[in-house]
Amino acid sequence: MIIPRPRELAVLGGTIAYDPDLVRLEPPDPTLGPEGYRLRIGPTAVHLTPGGPAGQFYARQTLVAYGERLPLGEIEDRPRFPWRGVMLDVARHFMPVDFVLRMIDHLAAHKLNVLQLHLTDDQGWRLEIKRHPRLTEVSGDHYSHDDIRAIVEYAAERFVRVVPEIGLPGHVQAALAAYPHLGNDPARRLPVWAEWGISPHTLNLEESTITFFEEVLDEVVELFPGPYVHVGGDECRPGEWEATPRAQERIRELGLSGAHAARGWITARMAEHLRRHDRRLVYWYDTDDGPSGATTMTWLDEESGPLATLEGRDVVLAPHRRTYFDYPVQPEPGPFAPDRVLTLTGTYHFDPPPEPPGAMGRIIGVQAQLWTEYLPTPADVERQTFPRLCAFAEVAWGSPRDYPDFLRRLDPHLARLAAQGTVIGPLIP
């Protein structure tokens, strides 16, 4: 069997040898949805009916995943969520282009369709911005415009959308190291941060700083054609705004209720600018101060998602205790709190909650995260990814939930991945 398991599967008994020449492509059936498909597997032919181009791609992925023998019968399959994502942090530790492409292959093979690239943080700015070149000059390794175009094109061929993340107004020390005038103390010279955690330094509230980041986003939307741009928005400490006379003056000028409201003002300005580009802002949900109409990623707990839908927001569920693949798979000495362990069964049994009445359709997806503070190499990232990504793929697709059946299917699936050179972490159910 395959991962993720088809949602509807009728097996007649018997098999046929898989041969791509046996596949007969039928006219699309829009009732299947753009990512859905139907396979009728008979003794002499396989009839493939897609809902759309993505559905055809996923149907062929299913046929390949079955291996040399196909079961006679019918498969009708479609995903539960339109957003089935993985976030890869390339800011804390840079990941080379060939590994990003490899991660796209992993996503496509597991019927996942969003790769969020966490491109900036306190420890690095990894995206070339031609208008402001010092952003990458001070950070070293980064992606050129040509690199990004290659990544986006490669992903699109596999029906994966790349969502860029440019973090602000906190997690910006690398930007302040390049351009001190963006900070609350322009005379101060900060380094690119060499520590982990949350830097206390934030953007100032000047109109010139808003203009600077509007210019950054102008280049971002040219490189990333998708409808979403993530701007971070989380873990922003208000201390500098509280302690800086000029920030306090600006808070009064803007009519804000206090320093705590400055983050929301900045993200709202970014949302307004992105709307002019026909893009939607995405942000990490700490509080309910996100801009109107933005898409929120709820990461603190499993309860925030349904609550955020009642605020009129589209929601991507990303609760850290279920989706943070940088967490260890069992208790061990290290930087994480003892309760921050994510087992394979914990991943598999993540049960995305339904929307509350009146907010139907607001939960648009789920996303797994690969933060790289403690994952310095591609091999480290893959080791933390597998086998938990296999369990997450079933959650995201909405496959039938049978854990013993999943474990039976997992062994041959991991063997196939290992044969392709994938680094597999410990299998601890």
Q: Which residues pair with 115 in a beta bridge?
A: 86, 162
**Same domain, yes or no, for 248 and 107?**
yes
- Please, which pLDDT band fits residue 9 given cuts at 50, 70 and 90? confident
End position of a domain, from candidates 77, 104, 122: 77
Which residue type is seen at 105?
Answer: D
Assess whether 235 carries a catalytic annotation.
yes
Q: Which CATH number characterizes residue 19's domain?
A: 3.30.379.10
**Same domain, yes or no, for 311 and 183?**
yes
Q: How far apart are CA 120 and CA 168, in angstroms?
A: 9
Domains: count for the chain: 2
- Convert the pLDDT of each residue in 392-426 to its tens digit: 999 999 998 899 999 999 999 999 999 999 999 99
**Could you list the residue range(s) of the whole structural domain that residue 374 is in?**
83-400
Report helix, strand or coil for 381: helix
Q: Which two tokens stand for residue 5?
A: 């398991």
Assess whether 288 carries a catalytic annotation.
no
pLDDT at 73 exceeding the cut of 90:
yes
**Same domain, yes or no, for 91 and 53?**
no
Q: Of these residues, 35, 77, 121, 122, which one is catalytic?
A: 121
**Same domain, yes or no, for 173 and 236?**
yes
**Same domain, yes or no, for 205 and 276?**
yes
Q: Of these residues, 218, 235, 289, 302, which one is catalytic?
A: 235
Q: Of these residues, 93, 132, 142, 171, which one is catalytic?
A: 171
Say what the pLDDT of residue 429 is.
Answer: 83
Q: Which CATH number characterizes residue 127's domain?
A: 3.20.20.80
Report helix, strand or coil for 223: helix
**Same domain, yes or no, for 180 and 57?**
no
Q: How far apart are CA 206 and CA 374, in angstroms?
A: 35
**Same domain, yes or no, for 125 and 213?**
yes
Task: Give which of 2, 10, 4, 132 is closest to 73, Cα–Cα.
Answer: 10
End position of a domain, from candidates 61, 77, 93: 77
Q: Tell me, yes or no, whether 424 lies in a domain.
A: no
pLDDT at 1 exceeding the cut of 80:
no
Q: How far apart are CA 383 and CA 425, in angstroms?
A: 4
Q: Tell me, yes or no, whether 268 lies in a domain.
A: yes
Q: Which two tokens stand for residue 59?
A: 């149907």
pLDDT at 13 exceeding the cut of 90:
no
Say what the pLDDT of residue 148 is.
Answer: 98
Say what the pLDDT of residue 290 is.
Answer: 84
Alpha helices of 141-206 — where are they, by DSSP H? Answer: 145-157, 173-178
**Same domain, yes or no, for 160 and 43?**
no
pLDDT at 288 exceeding the cut of 80:
no
Q: Which two tokens stand for residue 355?
A: 């929307």
Q: How far apart are CA 361 and CA 388, in angstroms?
A: 27
End position of a domain, from candidates 31, 51, 77: 77
Q: How far apart are CA 278 and CA 258, in angstroms?
A: 31
pLDDT at 245 exceeding the cut of 90:
yes
**Same domain, yes or no, for 159 and 174?**
yes
pLDDT at 2 exceeding the cut of 90:
no
Q: Tell me, yes or no, whether 29 lies in a domain.
A: yes
**Same domain, yes or no, for 66 and 88?**
no
Q: What is the DSSP letter of 324?
A: B
Q: How far apart are CA 62 and CA 23, in angstroms?
A: 12
**Same domain, yes or no, for 99 and 199?**
yes
Which residue type is seen at 29?
Answer: D
Q: Tell me, yes or no, whether 414 lies in a domain.
A: no
Q: Which two tokens stand for residue 273?
A: 């600018």
Assess whether 171 carries a catalytic annotation.
yes
Q: How far apart are CA 220 and CA 223, in angstroms?
A: 5
